[in-house]
Homo-oligomer: A and B are copies of this chain.
Amino acid sequence: MPTIMPEAITRRSLHDEVVSRLRDLIVEGEFRPGTRINERMLCERFAISRTPLREALKVLASEGLVELTPNRGATVATFTLRDIEEMFPVMGALEALAGELACQRITEAELAEIRALHYQMVVHFQKGELPEYFHLNQAIHEAMLAAARNPTLSNIFRSLSGRVSPARFRANMSRARWTRAVEEHEKILKALEARNGPLLSSLLKEHLSNKGETVREAMFAAEDTREAVG
C-alpha cells in the first residue's frame, strides 16, 4: 500500500476510484451478497467503460468481496456460516497482536483519544443508537491498530474486517450481547491503560470470538426470515 504523502497531489486513476466506490456499495449493503454484478449496468451507473470496471472487479475479487466465475461474471461474495467461523478467530489473533504492540507503543495522547471514543460509544449504547455505536466501535479498533504502529497488520485486519462488514452491517444484536460487548470494551480500555499486553491480548481474542458469535446468531436469524446474509 502506498503511503499517503502530505502535499502530494492525489491523482486517482479511474479503476482505483471504481474499486472504492464499488466496495462501498457492497459493504454498505446496496449490493447484497449473492447479487449478480452486471458489467453493462455498472458501466452506465458510473459512466465509464468496461475496462476499468473489470480491473476493479478483479481487485475486489482478490480482496474476497466479489466472486468471479469464468465466463459467468461476478457476484457479490456470499459468506457461509463456516466462513464466518473461520474469519473471527483470525481477526482475534490479529487484534490480539495489535493489542500487545499497542501496549508497548501507545502514547498518552492516543490513549486519551481512545478513552474519549470509548465513553462516547457508551453514551450511544445507553441511548440504544446502534449505527452510531458501530461507528465508534470501529473507530476504537482502528485507533488501537494505529497505536500498534504496524501498517501491514492494520491493512490485513481492515481487509478481513471489510469482508465481514456486509454481514455485520445488517446484524442486529440482542441487548444481552450488546451489554456484554460494552463490558468487554470497558475491560479492554483498562488493560490498555495499564499497558498489560498479555491481558489485553486475551481480552481481545475473547471479544472477537464473541463478535463472531453475534454475527453467527444474526445469520441464523436472517436465514429464518429468508434474508440470507450469505
Contact = CB atoms under 8 A, between A and B. Distances in A.
Interface of A: 1-2, 11-13, 15-16, 51, 54-56, 58-59, 61-64, 67, 69-71, 83, 86-87, 89-90, 92-94, 96-97, 101, 150-153, 156, 160
Contacts of A70: 11-13, 16
Contacts of A56: 58
Nearest to A163: B152
A93 B89 contact: no
A81 to B, nearest CB: 13
A10 to B, nearest CB: 9
Given A2-B67, A11-B70, A70-B12, A83 B51 contact: no
Contacts of A58: 15, 55-56, 58-59
Q: Which of A2, A96, A150, A152 has the most CB of B within 10 A?
A: A152
A157 B195 CA distance: 28
Given A2-B69, A90-B94, 12 more contacts: A11-B71, A13-B70, A56-B58, A58-B59, A62-B62, A86-B150, A86-B152, A89-B153, A90-B156, A93-B93, A94-B94, A156-B156
A96 B205 CA distance: 13
Q: Which of A63, A69, A150, A151 has the most CB of B within 10 A?
A: A150
Contacts of A67: 2
Given A2-B67, A59-B59, A94-B93, A151 B15 contact: no
A51 B15 CA distance: 13
Nearest to A67: B2
21 contacts: A2-B67, A2-B69, A11-B70, A11-B71, A12-B70, A13-B70, A54-B55, A55-B55, A55-B58, A58-B59, A62-B63, A83-B152, A86-B150, A89-B101, A89-B153, A90-B152, A90-B153, A92-B97, A93-B96, A152-B160, A156-B160
A71 B89 CA distance: 40
A182 to B, nearest CB: 26
B93 A151 contact: no
Contacts of A160: 152, 156
